[in-house]
Structure 1
Amino acid sequence: MTEDLQTLDYFERKSKGFFRKQKVRIKHKLGWLGVPEIIPCRGFASYAAGQAFIAGALTEDKGLEKLDGKNTLGENILAMLKRYSGDQIPSARVKVELSNATKELVTEENGIFKTKLPVNFVRKKEKTRWLHYHAELMDKTGVGSEKYSAQGEILVPGSDARFAVISDIDDTIMVSHSTQTLSKLRLILTHNSRTRKPFPGVEAFYCALHLGGNGNDANPFFYISSSEWNLYDLIDDFCTFNKFPKGGLFAPRNTSGHFKFVETRWRKPRT
């Protein structure tokens, strides 16, 4: 069996129901069937609790090239159609590793995986920093097939953080026309992460909040979006390109546990 057919067989085995299997076969015939891809969410950890919350999704990688502000209308539309044709992969085994802690998870019906892992911090009052974790697909997708893995990041607010900012994305920092269906659809289909517009002045305001009144703080940011996981990289690139403070990036529809964890583990503000 060729590698192409092995990939088709894997997606068919993971697809539940007649119509989902037919969708996989049609994409294969059109040359649109991708390979498994792990999308790691930028998570959150607490010095006080000694825990980290990790989440991500196992999806179909469409092999999309990163677009820029010079792409044609047709290229933007085709890229978005391919993006939305991708499927999330349920019932797959994913192993996550953070320092010396390891856990094997099974993706949910929507392809999501999430867990808490212990973190052994030497000191409890360190400055804000980022940790890295590793996620790897443990399923065999075919004989001799390559391993699919990804590196994720975890934000650990420290002693240089005086408060935290939790911000929506749609129509808060990114013009989305969420309540206007046709305008929203036009933006989604005809624009990409480099041509979507931020609200004027928000980036400077957020950077000022991040640095605090003395300019030396590292107040953490947590961004939330109601979008699906197939738009995660688009939102991430939008925030980076427009120079918003780097922070946790969550899709609350699928990782609601993140916010309960942030709320219960975030230390009380200093007086």
Structure 2
Amino acid sequence: MIAQLLHFTKKLVRLFTRPMKSDKGRGGVIVQPYRGYGSHKEAFVMGRVFRQPGTGRRWEEGGTTRDLVDVARRIIRRGVRDARIIMRLGDAKTIVTTDRDGYFYAHIDINHSLPTDRVWHTASLEVLSEKDAISTQTDVYIPPTNADLIVISDIDDTVMYTGVANKLKMLYRLFMEKAQRRTAFPGVAAFYRALYGGVEGNRKRPMLYVSRGPWCIYEMLDLFFNLNRIPVGPILFLREWGLRLSRPWPRKAEDHKSDVIRNMLSLYADLPFILIGDSGQRDPEVYTEIVKEHPERVLAIYIRKVKDDPERDAAIERLAAEVSHTGCTLVLADSSLSMAEHAKAQGYISEEGLAAVREDQ
């Protein structure tokens, strides 16, 4: 058991310190971007500018001492307010300024043709207002021209069992209980791969994931998606909790999920959507509201049933009746297989995709 705990602790420390490695220990001002997304007309990248201390000496790379030093550096680093960043994507560029917590949200107009043989494109980011700042790059997802729909999914209790409310428990499962089988719902990885590929298997549809969790768990969720072979999509839509000593609670974010969906409906105005959530929170109500605002834009809503609650089930069925006239079908499903069977019947995934979900289930 002690050996397992040591293994867990080492893995957790490596994950926690991963963003600190890019400065090679020298410290200073650094940009930490997240994956971007966009269309062939515009793109978006979010990130944060930090000022972090150096290691003070040349510690062995990958050693325990260096990892502990990086833990301390991450704890005491701070966001840089009013930093000016220039972002370049191909021949396009834009300049943005960070907010009071060091976050930036860069929007860039694309007025030239991007390569069509790939969906991931490289954006460079450079801090203009800070001397000797460390530049960086990030990936930006641009859907292929043959993309036929967008998938937006909740994460907690929809994709994974344990979410941001129990981060340590999820990390324990990730590192000590074979994460591929014990953190994701059975069949969910195969179902999302089937949605990503479509009937032809090569659609490369945008897979967007939204959570009310803070950006500080980005690396943890990224690891979760990779371990479970779930299409990572362009970005994990998290949020800044804004915790301070004077305000030790998250900022309100009741509209976070609906705002993300509305923005995506506007960005991908020519494409229909599939929305996936769970019955435990307000996903059915939020998605129903979106359908009423944008009739005929949402093809299907898949709601994972997370507990046996006849009253809640009846409420969701009433919501399904409310949106049925728009052409959207709300499916309350007790498994990934139930969702996949409906998706196959509607022509959203292939027979091979459905078979893979059956096998994974």
TM class, shorter-length: 0.5 to 0.7
Query: Bigger CA drift: 86-95 or 201-210?
Result: 86-95
Could you tell me the TM-score, scaled by structure 2's length? 0.50
- 1:42 partner letter: R
Partner of 1:45: 38
Contact 2:31/2:49 (8 A) holds in 1 = yes
Residues 1:138 and 2:128 aligned together: yes
Task: Please show how residues 24-63 of structure 1 align to structure 2 within 5 Å.
Answer: 35-47=28-40, 50-59=41-50
Residues 1:235 and 2:221 aligned together: yes
Change (3 A) 1:123 1:95: closer
Q: Quote the residue 2:206 is aligned against.
A: 220
Partner letter of residue 152 of structure 1?
A: T
In the alignment, is the contact (CA less than 8 A) between 2:196 and 2:204 conserved in 1?
yes
TM superposition shift of 1:205: 0.9
What's 1:268 paired with?
Answer: 271
Paired letter, 2:142: V
Q: Does the residue aligned with 1:39 lie in a helix, a strand or coil?
A: strand
Shift of 1:247: 0.8
TM-score by length of 1: 0.65
Please give the alpha-carbon distance, in whole angstroms, between the structure 1 residues aligned to 2:117 and 2:27.
41
4+ runs deviating over 6 angstroms: 76-82
Q: Which moved more, 1:260-269 or 1:79-88?
A: 79-88
Match of 2:194 among 199, 208, 224: 208
More helix by share: 2
Q: What is the RMSD computed on CA atoms of the aligned residues?
A: 4.0
Deviations 1:62-121 (A, max 9, x none): 89xxxxxxxxxxxx9998887565433222222211122222221001221112212134
Structure 2 portions without partners, runs of 5+: 1-25, 55-66, 241-255, 273-296, 300-361
Shift of 1:264: 0.5
**Structure 1 residues 219 and 231: CA distance shift in structure 2, 3 A:** same
> Which residue of 162, 169, 177 maps to 1:187?
169
State whether residues 137 and 148 of structure 1, in contact with CA within 8 Å, keep that contact through their aligned partners in structure 2.
yes
Number of the residue aligned with 2:144: 158
1:105-138 alpha-carbon deviations (Å, 9 max, x no partner): 21001221112212134489x5761221111122
Aligned equivalent of 1:246, options 232, 248, 263: 232
For 1:31-180, what aligned pairs fall within 5 Å after superposition? 35-47=28-40, 50-59=41-50, 86-122=77-113, 126=116, 129-140=119-130, 146-177=132-163
**Higher relative contact order (Cα pairs below 8 Å, separated by 6+ residues):** 1
AA at the equivalent of 1:216: N
Report the counterpart of residue 71 of structure 1 in structure 2: none
Structure 1 unaligned spans of 5+: 1-32, 64-75
Matched pairs, number: 220
